[in-house]
A and B are shown apart, each in its own frame.
Chain A
Amino acid sequence: MAKRIDIKDVNIYYGKFHAVDSVTLSVPPRSVTAFIGPSGCGKSTVLRSLNRMHEVTPGARVEGRVLLDGEDIYAPSVDPVEVRRTIGMVFQRPNPFPTMSIRDNVVAGLKLAGVRNRKKLDEVCERSLRGANLWEEVKDRLDRPGGGLSGGQQQRLCIARAIAVQPDVLLMDEPCSALDPISTLAIEDLITELKQDFTIVIVTHNMQQAARVSDQTAFFNLAGVGQPGRLVEVDDTEKIFSNPSQKATEDYISGRFG
């Protein structure tokens, strides 16, 4: 549980397009790291390279090493399916499986892993939904379709689905961007709770959110149009938002960007 991630000199490509240039960054276990930066600078791309989802895009590839507690997830002997089982992901748009009930959505990952025991599945379902602060709202309609929930509930359902398999790391790509302020707060509180058990990396465009939930913040930027994105600096969130060492970071977080 809760492993550390070391990204070492990672370059990411979409076909011939060099999207992200040489990122080196460490994420300590049981902490929240926020990725911030202007649109198109490669935050999602870096995030998706951490659970080998990047290579799902045709022609996309990653160079460099990503170590999970010292083990390279890009080593030739490593099965990407196994990597994704231990590193959970929550997407920008809530994506519960529309043909499945709430219960089946939550335990989908477990079922994939071969768990069939009904009692165990129900147990995990309840625990995950409680963990995602959704249990009280849905406990009476677990057999209804997951698509019938509100956007915020759907996103919490997706978080429940991701934590049901007890991953080592939880990646979140702008998990609140489609949500109202109340649901956003609910998810931010949830992230603070989940930090006890998981290593969390979150991409966000909301500076206040980064300041509220993260321990460490990484600022990415584009050197120019058509240039690859790069990591400008990474530091304690407090330091980044009060006294960043790079001018570009200060400009960005104070809204003087671009």
Chain B
Amino acid sequence: MRTALRPRAGSGGGSATAPHTPEGPISTPNIAQSRPVRRPGDRLFRGAAVGSGVFIVALISAIGLFLLLQAIPSLRANQVGFLTSGVWNTTSATDLQFGILYLLWVTVATSVLALALAMPISLGIALFLTHYAPRRLARPFAYVVDLLAAVPSIIFGLWGIKVLAPTLVPVAEWLNHNLGFIPLFAEGNVTIAGGGTVFTAGVVLAVMILPIITAVSREVFERTPREHIEGALALGATKWEMLRTTVLPFGKAGYVSAAMLGLGRALGETVALYLILSATTAVPELSFFDGGATIASKIALGAAEFNNPLTAGAYIAAGLVLFLLTFVVNALARAVVAGKKEYA
């Protein structure tokens, strides 16, 4: 039955000896001996790449060094423990008292709350946009989400304190009333009715970091290889099962990186929180209904005191902590993403 399978014309039969050139053998350069050619384009690009790498590292080190050098004299003059105290009293340069503790609490609490709220919502939006929404709807919707990222943070601050805070007060009161036995929902060091709490700030930050987390996750989810998606569907997976077996594992690392980008933005956010958080000198209750300031908003609040180098140094020391915090967050994110490399 295979008799009809004649070899195709030209397959394998075309190795006629090449005609000799009249000039005789051509001396070809010996490949083994010739030195590797350095092409100018390669060299230029290599130089540029190495140069920018070195420049970035140098710049970051310089910033760190600058912060450190400025902070050291103030840290020496500090009358309280910088890492162990929460008092902030820098009005008198001779009796300098500054501790990072309360600022650190408010910074971490607002950012983590924002992340906890934004992560599931972003995940939902990203999955909806990539796998559920009809195409005609997905594009404009994605555009609107991206537009959120373009809103200046001062607008978010105004909206947060003027519109969102009053609306959230009943929610906050309900939480405090029903879940008050959990320390996070107990009374804080400012009034819940005023709205200038970590709770409000966290919600506003969540809205602010939603677009970046959504956009990055969407990009990653969209890249899930088609053959994996089809492999799952062909096995009889429902849509959700397909997402769970292919899209989510594939996009996990990207989603975590996206969240860390968002966290980085939340940690550094200044103006919005400056407007929202009620200032207080009271000791925080480690509750979502605390007020106070984040590291960044405290620095902004203290701008008037920067003319004195010792006072300025106190704020710079706080800035240094924020700097290290974002570094640690990034390193953690990398560790999470690098884990389980084998399955990448």
Q: Which residues of A contact B (CB under 8 A)?
A: 51, 53, 56, 58, 81-82, 84-86, 88-89, 91, 93, 95-100, 108-109, 112-113, 145, 147-148, 158, 161-162, 165, 207-208, 211, 237-238, 241-242, 250, 253-255
Q: Closest CB-CB distance, B289 to chain A, in whole Å? A: 41
Q: Closest CB-CB distance, B227 to chain A, in whole Å? A: 4
Contact B227 A208 (CB under 8 A): no
Query: Counting CB contacts under 8 A, is B308 at the interface?
Result: no
Contact residues in B for A85 (Cβ distance below 8 Å): 235-236
Q: Please list 6 pairs of residues, one from A and one from B, whose beta carbons are closer than 8 Å in the complex, sorted by A's number.
A: A58-B135, A81-B236, A91-B227, A100-B245, A147-B343, A254-B5
Contact residues in A for B3 (Cβ distance below 8 Å): 242
Q: How many angstroms from the CA of A70 to the CA of B7 in the assembled complex?
A: 42
Q: Closest CB-CB distance, A240 to chain B, in whole Å? A: 9
Q: How many angstroms from the CA of A238 to the CA of B342 in the assembled complex?
A: 47
Contact residues in A for B238 (Cβ distance below 8 Å): 81
> How many B residues, CB 8 Å from partner?
30
Query: Other than the known A53-B234, A158-B231, A242-B1, what 5 A-B pairs have Cβ atoms closer than 8 Å?
Result: A53-B233, A84-B235, A112-B237, A147-B343, A211-B5
The residue in chain A whose Cβ has the minimal distance to the Cβ of B236 is A85
Query: Counting CB contacts under 8 A, is B38 at the interface?
Result: no
Q: How many angstroms from the CA of A30 to the CA of B163 in the assembled complex?
A: 70
Q: Closest CB-CB distance, B122 to chain A, in whole Å? A: 21
Contact among B8, B235, B246 with A109 in the assembled complex (CB-CB below 8 Å): B235
Query: Counting CB contacts under 8 A, is B305 at the interface?
Result: no
A-B contacts at CB below 8 angstroms, number: 94
Contact residues in B for A211 (Cβ distance below 8 Å): 1-2, 5
Q: How many angstroms from the CA of A85 to the CA of B234 in the assembled complex?
A: 7
Query: Counting CB contacts under 8 A, is B232 at the interface?
Result: yes
Contact B231 A91 (CB under 8 A): yes
Contact A208 B6 (CB under 8 A): no
Contact A56 B1 (CB under 8 A): no
Contact among A89, A145, A250 with B343 in the assembled complex (CB-CB below 8 Å): A145
Contact residues in A for B342 (Cβ distance below 8 Å): 145, 148
Contact residues in A for B135 (Cβ distance below 8 Å): 58
Query: Counting CB contacts under 8 A, is B228 at the interface?
Result: yes
The residue in chain A whose Cβ has the minimal distance to the Cβ of B344 is A98
Query: Counting CB contacts under 8 A, is B241 at the interface?
Result: yes
Q: Closest CB-CB distance, B269 to chain A, in whole Å? A: 34
What 10 pairs between A and B have smallest CB-CB spacing?
A85-B236, A99-B249, A255-B8, A89-B234, A95-B227, A95-B231, A109-B235, A84-B236, A238-B1, A99-B343
Q: A98-B343, A254-B6 are in contact. Are A112 and B234 (CB under 8 A)?
A: no
The residue in chain A whose Cβ has the minimal distance to the Cβ of B244 is A112
Contact A112 B235 (CB under 8 A): yes
Q: Of residues B4, B233, B249, which shows the largest number of chain A Cβ atoms within 10 Å of its Cβ?
A: B4
Contact residues in B for A98 (Cβ distance below 8 Å): 228, 249-250, 343-344
Q: How many angstroms from the CA of A174 to the CA of B81 in the assembled complex?
A: 71
Q: Closest CB-CB distance, B331 to chain A, in whole Å? A: 24
Q: How many angstroms from the CA of A181 to the CA of B108 in the assembled complex?
A: 60
Q: Closest CB-CB distance, A185 to chain B, in whole Å? A: 16
Contact B5 A88 (CB under 8 A): no
Query: Counting CB contacts under 8 A, is B230 at the interface?
Result: yes
Contact A97 B245 (CB under 8 A): yes
Contact residues in A for B231 (Cβ distance below 8 Å): 91, 95-97, 158
Contact residues in A for B237 (Cβ distance below 8 Å): 81, 112
Q: A95-B227, A95-B228, A98-B228 are in contact. Are A253 and B5 (CB under 8 A)?
A: yes
Query: Counting CB contacts under 8 A, is B9 at the interface?
Result: yes
